[in-house]
Structure 1
C-alpha cells in the first residue's frame, strides 16, 4: 500500500529544470556513475529522452533499479523527475501502439543477468524462504 502511495506521489509531483541539477549533484556527492556520464546527463537530458537514457549503458538503469528494489527513498526521490518522465514516455508509446493495433495486446520484455555462483546459491534455496537478496554484494540469506 505504501509503495502505491509513494508511486502516485512521485508521478504527480511537478519537476522543473532544477530537479536535473539536484539529481546530478546527488550523483556526484554519492559517486554514482562516472563524472563524464553525469555531466552528459546534465547537459543533454530532456523529458522525451527518458527511455533512451534508461536503456543507454550508463549509471541510470542500475541506479534506478537498485533504488526501486531496495526502496532507497533518497535515490527514488532524487530520480522522481526521471521516473515521471519515463512513465509518461512509456504511457505515450503504449497509447500509440494501442491506437494503431486496435486494442491488440503486446508483450514487452526486460531481462536481468545473474552470475552462475548466485544462480547456484538460488538453486540451493529450493524449499526455503529467501530472507534478503542483495545485488550489491551478490549474496542472499536463505531462511528455513
Structure 2
C-alpha cells in the first residue's frame, strides 16, 4: 500500500518555494502556475524546466536537506512513478542494449577520484540526464569555460536492458521536453554505475560506465518476503534511502521516523526495516536488530 499523497506537504513545499524566491518575478510566476495547474503526470515536464523545481531539488539532494526533501516528497514520488511508466516503454520495445552519453567538465581533483574508483561502483546523488546522441554530448564536454584546469569528460553509459534489475529506474523523456531532438534519458537519483574503463581520445577523457544493480541489492531479500503484502516499495521511502546512501545516517533516520508517525501498519514494516538498515550501516547493530525484528514481525 502506498502512503497517500500529502496535500499538506504540497502546500508547505509551495510556501517554501515562495519564501525562497520572494522578489524573483520569473520564479514566482512559475510557482503560481505550478500551484494552480500541476498534475502528477506533469512531474517529468516540470523537472525538465529550468525553474525552481529542478534547482531546489538539486540543491536539496546535494546538501542532504531533509526538511525540503520531506516536504517535497509528493513531487519526488510523482517523478518516480512517471519514470516507471516511461521505463516500461523501453522494456517492452525491441531494444536490448542502451547506450547514452553525457558531456561534462570536471576539475582535476574530481576526475582523479573517479580514476581512483575505476572498476568500482559509484552512485549519483541527483537525477542524471543523458542523451542517445554522442555528438551532442561531445559538444557539451568540449564547451569552453572560464574555469581553469578543467577536464572535458564524456560519460558513456551502457545497460543490458533485458537483464537489468527492475528496480533501476530510467526512461525516455522526449515527449516531455521542449527539444524533442535531444533524445534524452533520465536516470533516477541514487542510480549506481560500475566504472569499466577510462580512455583518452584527443582532448577528451571517455569514461565508460555500466549500469549496476548494486544499489538495489541490499533490499532485494526483504522485498521478496513482503511482495505478497504490497505491490511495490513505497516511493517516499526512496528519499530516506538516498540520504542513507550519501552517508547522512542521522538525517536518514529522522526522515524515516517522520514517515513512521504518518504511516499505516503495512508501510511501517518497510520504514522500520529502513531505520534498521540505517542503524546497521552506522554500526549500531544492537539497535538495528530491534528494528529488523519489528519489521519482520508485522
Aligned equivalents of 2:74, 2:97: Cα separation in 1: 28
Larger Rg: 2
Q: How many Å apart are 1:31 and its aligned residue?
A: 2.5
Q: Does the aligned pair in 1 maintain the 2:43–2:78 contact within 8 Å?
A: yes
Q: Which of these residues, 60, 74, 79, is aligned with residue 81 of structure 1?
A: 74
The answer to whether the aligner puts 1:54 opposite 2:47 as a matched pair is yes
Q: Which of these residues, 98, 110, 117, is aligned with residue 106 of structure 1?
A: 98
The alignment covers a number of residue pairs equal to: 110
The answer to whether the aligner puts 1:30 opposite 2:59 as a matched pair is no
Aligned equivalents of 2:77, 2:53: Cα separation in 1: 14
Structure 2: runs of 5+ lacking an equivalent = 103-128, 131-139, 152-298
Aligned equivalents of 1:61, 1:35: Cα separation in 2: 14
Aligned equivalents of 1:105, 1:13: Cα separation in 2: 35
Aligned equivalents of 1:39, 1:115: Cα separation in 2: 36
Aligned equivalents of 1:51, 1:29: Cα separation in 2: 24
In the TM superposition, 1:1-144 aligns within 5 A as 13-31=3-21, 34-101=27-94, 104-107=96-99, 110=129, 116-118=145-147, 120=148
Q: Greater helix share, 1 or 2?
A: 1
Partner of 2:211: none
Q: Greater strand share, 1 or 2?
A: 2
Distance of aligned partners of 1:68 and 1:31 in 2 relative to their CA distance in 1, 3 Å threshold: same
Q: How many Å apart are 1:107 and its aligned residue?
A: 4.3
Deviations 1:20-47 (A, max 9, x none): 2221111112337621111111111111
Structure 1: runs of 5+ lacking an equivalent = 1-11, 124-144
Moved more, 92-101 or 16-25: 16-25
Q: How many Å apart are 1:105 and its aligned residue?
A: 3.5
Aligned equivalents of 2:10, 2:98: Cα separation in 1: 33
Aligned equivalents of 1:52, 1:39: Cα separation in 2: 16
TM-score, reference length from structure 2:
0.33
Aligned equivalents of 2:77, 2:87: Cα separation in 1: 15
